[in-house]
Structures are given as structure tokens and as C-alpha cells.
Structure 1
Amino acid sequence: MDDRPRNTEAEIARDAAARIPRARRGPGLSWKLLILTLLFVSVSAVLIYVPSIANFRLTWLSDRLAMADTASVVLAAADTVDVPRDIQDQLLAAVGATAIAIRTGSVSRLIAAVEMPPEIDRTVDLRMMEPVADIVAAFETLLAPDERMLRVIGDSRNSGAVELVITDTPLRDAMLSYSVRVLWLAVLISVILSGLLFLSVDRMFVRPMRRLSQNMVAFSDAPDDSTRVITPSGRGDEIGVAEDHLASMQRDLQTTLREQRHLADLGLAVSKINHDLRNMLASAQLFSDRLGGVSDPTVQRFAPKLIAALDRAISYCQTTLAYGRAREAPPSRRLIALDRLVDDVADGLGLVGHQTIAFDNAVAQGMEIDADPDQLFRILVNLGRNAIQALESDSSPALVRRLTISGERRDGCIAIRVDDTGPGIPQAARAHLFQAFQGTVRPGGTGLGLAIAAELARAHGGSVALAEKAGPGACFEIIIPHRRESNGRPRAA
């Protein structure tokens, strides 16, 4: 009877809901990529526009200053004659200024000016290059609410310097017109660049990632369908590596699912057999108890062994479903005479008086081991039965068939060796030798014997391994360490 706690219907429903993938919310990778591309291109356009508008302002002012400097060449010749009013007005209109002056050393000479010169609001010295200040001044010009008068100073080709008084309204209009042109150009470049970048990245990354995600969703719906295993595209980059590993993982998962299904079918079959077999063994035990009262010497000799074998069989039936559903019970360790236990194993396997197989109990008389007697018996029976099947696989009468069980004391443990002269273990079978349903090399075998033996040995803190040997056959070595005291030291045997 299964005493394990059952999950309630609410818990089962909650677990099932937790396994259902949540629906995707929000924009997909394609939209995120497009938005980020537009954002980054826009940021790039702004970073380009900021210094360019400052440079446009300086260039515009430099052009006006160059025009004033050229006009001053002609007007400077008449240094003793006043420039007529109409000539000054024409010159100022051509330059777009309200006053023009040239400076030589510390002396300034006004060449042309309106009758009522306005007050100066800002002074711009083009002889000094200050990028940050020029950028700030450019945006002040763009955002200024009222007209301002600028005094522009620059180097002259004929004298020391030339000065120009000019209103910033034409400059602001030119800068706004330039900004609109730059804006349209930035929008056009952003759209073209974003489109090209989006198409490239979508084709190179987003589509393969979408293919991976769609395949994983489809595979999760029917993981046992081999047609849903992803077919790698053969790419040599990281996405190609991900496709290869995903295909390998899906194939391994399908193999695992088939093995789990096989285990479930086997567990169901064993549970059905266990119920009836246990009743039949109980009946056989009753008959064996009656045999104990027969006075025949042969019966008296074999009846205890038969009773012991039936007791073990009934105990095994009660724990048959333990493998694959729960762990084996913790070992109940006691001090055992190993040589006598090996004799019981030989009797149980029918090796005493066997017609073709010679059995050698090479355990030293009186050697003791601290272990669970039933579990150690099962380990030796499983290994011995495998050895007998290997020895009987070839019926040639000339072959030497011998099974030897030996034991020796080592530092902190007992080593038991099960050695046979059979055909040995093929190299291809050694990788999965102790895995359930995979370690068998005999047609029709279940592959559980070695897996059970290894599990029982691990319960003792030991191991079962295939040992190297010089001669033919196979040799399995069982290591059973001594129990440890509360201080962690090995307990003396």
C-alpha cells in the first residue's frame, strides 16, 4: 500500500497552471528594435546638430565681418575725407550692419554708421575659440524673444581688427531656416538608416530568435513528436551553436521521456506481479515450515536454507517497487561473517555442485564486515548472477568457467571482488554500465542488477566499480567502508 501523501486537486491544478507559459505582453523584439533604432539615430542627429548650429552662427558672422573688412579697404583710403552719408548707408545695407569700424593698435576709426547708433547688447569676439560658449551663445540667439544688437570683432586683412555692429534678427532667421533643413535631413536619414538597420538586424538576429522560440513552444506542446525537433540552420555564429545545442537537448529529452515511459510501464507491471507473487510465496513458506518437521537428513539440511530463501523473496517482493519510486531503506548494519555470507550466496545461485562452473570462496575464514546482511547479500547475488550468465553464454566444453569471490581489508574499508573468467565487458557498454535499463550486454536482460548493486553500495557509503584485471573475464570490486564514530573517525572492525 502506498503511504505517500497525495496532492490535493487544488495543488495539482496550481502546479499545472504554474507549468503553463505566460502569454507574452508588450511589444515584441522587432518593435523594440525599431524603437531603439529610431531613438539612437535621433540622439545621434541631436549630437550632430548642436555643434553644427554653433558653427553655422560663427560662419554667418564671419561672412558679414569679411564683407565689412573688404569694404573698409576702399573706405580706409579716404582717411582725411568724411565718407558721404549715402555711401555709408549703401555700405551698411550691403553688409547688414549699423556700424563698421577698424582698429589699429589701440586706435579705432568709425568708417560707417547710422545717424543714431543703438546700444550694444552682446559682444562676439571671433578671435577667441570657445566651443562650449559658442554653443550656448547659438541657442541664446535661437531662443531670444527680442531683437538684440551684437558687436562682432574679428581679424582684418589690412589692419589690426575690424568691428561690426549688427542686429541678430537676420542671424536668427538664418539659423531657424538652417535648423528646419537639418531637421528634415535628420528625419530622412533616420528613416533610411533605421529601416536598413532594422531589416538587417531582423534578418540576422530577430528571425532566428523567433524561430528558436516558436520551436521551443511547439516542442513543449508535444515533446514526444520527433518532427518537432529543430533542424539547425548550419550557421557558424552563436545562434547556430544555440540551434545545435537545442536540437541535442530535445533529442536527449525525447530519449529520457521514452525511458521514463518504459519505467512507468515496468512499474505498473511489477506492481501487478508483486501482489500475486507475494501471496504465492507466503503459501510456499507454509509448506517449507512443514518440511522442517520431516526427519529425513537431506530435508533437514536443505529446509532451513529453503526457508531463508523464501523469507528473502517475500522481503524483496515487499520492496520491489522501491526502485524507481523511492530510495532503498537505509542499511541496518551489523557485524557479519563474510565467508559464511558468501557460502549462502553460492547456495542461492546454485553454484555448490554446479556441473560446469567452479566456485571459489576465497574470503579468509573469520573475516568480518560491518554491513546490512540482506543488502550485501543482494549485491553479491546480482553480481554473481551476471557472472553466471556471462559464463554460460558460450557452451564450449573446453572453456574454463570459474567464479571467485574474495575479500581483503584496506585502510578504513573492506574490498570484495567478484571475479569470473567469462568474455568480459565490451568497451561500448562500460559508459552506462551502472545505469538502469542501459547496463545490460545480454539480449533479454533488464540492466537492473548492476544499478541495484551500485545503489545499495552507495547506501553504505561505498561503491561498486569495474576493476582492471590481467586475465580474461570481468572483475567487479565492492568497497564497503567502516562505519564512523560521532567524532568522524572510522569505527574499528
Structure 2
Amino acid sequence: MEASNPQDPGAAASSYDDLPDGLVVADAEDRVLVFNRAAERITGLPAARALGRPLDTALPLVDLEGRRWWKCTDPYGGLAIRTGQPETRLLLPDGRDVLVTARYVREHGGPVSRVVVGLRDTSARARVERRHADLIATVAHELRSPLTSVKGFTATLLAKWERFTDDQRKLMLETVDADADRVTRLIAELLDIARIDSGRLQLGCYPVDLPELVGDQIAGMTAAGLDVDRFEVRAEERFQVWADPDKLRQVVANLLENAVRHGEGRVTITMALDAAQTAPAEADGAEQQRKGEGPRMVAMTVDDEGPGIPEAMLSRVFTRFWRGNRRGGTGLGLYIVKGIVEAHGGGITVGRAPGGGARFRFTIPAA
């Protein structure tokens, strides 16, 4: 890329137009050299009117008490040890608030040669804060019920142990055990979300027999009381996929449990090579890479015969706290499923099954 001419404000600004945050740069004479596209979007001020003008005119800002910010901070004056201004919430001419940081660039401790201003839209921070508040509220709500139960039963047993029969004590302890499992699951979900959001979800991948894993999951569900005829498995062959078995089991379990809990009738599980992403069968991995082709992908589809998911809600299914019209649960399961599938290099979609219910389909690399 050619270096921008510092005397050409337009050329200088074009170098920073791909930045997600607003950037404004003024020279030693207080002339604006850079006013990138993000700065235009955040402030609503056109770059053409800002370039070449003083900061106070090009980017008029006031603090929450109505004082002119540039006059108060005096970026070109004051002590030579000043390096800038920390992030501050300020007001634009139209009354909207914006987060502003400023850095004073000096050469060899001399006068300010550049003032670099960063702009961030407060709506992004507000969305993050709302998400954190929702997460805290959901966790508090989900923890309150099992912990109240645990506290109640344990306090009762400790105070009145002799009044209860062995069967009554056993029932209370079983309830406490189930509630402890519920709390453990919630904590595990929160840890998964933290790892997914930070990009630190670690996978220990090796070849996994997908039909066998699905069969084991169904066997566990039928052993818990479900009718074996509730499930139908269709597999073209014994697929081995390249996956973390524990995480893949978490994905399969969540999709099957959702289909059983919220769907009706038979749950159909189909496994096949993904025709849209399948490389030639005779090409090994190294040859596929030389040809610029990706790995072969296996697709697994879970269909139920329930009422399905309304069209207007399909885009929200994999977001945090989505529960549709249902009560119960944290609404985090499908968000985690999407994160796990994508961490494997696959993808997941939701739509309508041929029988009218919901259809979840995910892809994962073949071994």
C-alpha cells in the first residue's frame, strides 16, 4: 500500500476508512488531516467539512455540563508531560453522546505534533452492558430456585432428622442431588459461553464414529423412559468425523433433547455426506489442500413433527436467552451448540422439517 501524503487530507483519511472506530487526526497547527468513515458515521458530520479545519470547529464536543471540551482540555498547551485524555463520554452538537479518547503525540518531548482522537458509539457499549445485565439476571434467577430447594431440604433434615423415615430422607436427598446437578449444568454453560465469546474454546479432536455416538445418546434417553420407537436413524454409512467427542456429544444431546421436549411424534436423525461441500472421494487431505478444496463434510439433520418454529423467530434461535414461547431453561443451549459447531469448522442452520416441525442441520468435517 502506498503511504498517504500527510499534506493531502483526503489521502490520509482513505488509509483509515476500514477501521471500525472513528479516527480524527490533527497536525501541529490544529488542522484536521484525517476524518475517517467511521467518524462520519458516529458523529453524523461530513469529512469534507472537517478536513483542514481546527478541531474545535471540525469536531465540536461538549461535556455533560455543557462546557466546550477542546477549550477545557487545551491539547496544544499545558504541561509537556501530558500524553492525552482518557476515554470520556461527551456530547455531539445534536445531543447524542459519544466516547472520546485523545492522544498527544510529541517528538523528543517537544510540542504536540499530532492529536489523535478515537471515537466510539455508545450504543455498542450499551448493548454489551445490556447483555451482561441479562446474563446476570438469568443466572440469578436460575440459581435461586435450586439453591432455595437445597437450603430448605438440608435445613429441614438437620433440624428434624429423627422425625423422618428413611424413605423420606432418601427422597429429600435425591431432590438435593438433582438440584445440585442443575446448578452444575448452569455453571458449565456459563464457562462454555465465556470460552466461545473469547475464542478460547479448546477442542481435542480425533476420529469419532458419529452413528455410534448418536446411538449411545438415544440409548441413554430410552433408558431414562423414552419409547425407542420415538427415534428413527438414517445413515448412508458408518461416518467418522474429526471432532472433540465430548463437545460433539453435547451438540447431539442438546438437539435431540430439544426435539423430544418441544416437538411431537417421531424424531428423525439423518447423517450423510454434505453434497455442497464434499470433495472428490479419491482425493486425500493433502491433495485436497493442493487443489484448494476444503475437507469433506458430514451433515447431520434432526427433524421433529411438532409445531415448528415461527418464521419470524428463526433468526433468533441461536442467540442468547432465546426460548421462543416456552418457559424453563436458560435459553443458552443452542447458542453454545452454534459456538461448538463453528469451532469445529462447520455450520448449523434451522428451518422447517418436511413433517411441519423444526429441522436443525449441522455440518462437521469428516475424519
Given the two structures, how large is their TM-score scaled by the length of structure 1? 0.36
State which structure, 1 or 2, has the greater radius of gyration over its C-alpha atoms: 1
Q: Which has the higher strand share?
A: 2
- Greater relative contact order (Cα 8 A, min sep 6): structure 1 or 2? 2
Given the two structures, how large is their TM-score scaled by the length of structure 2? 0.48
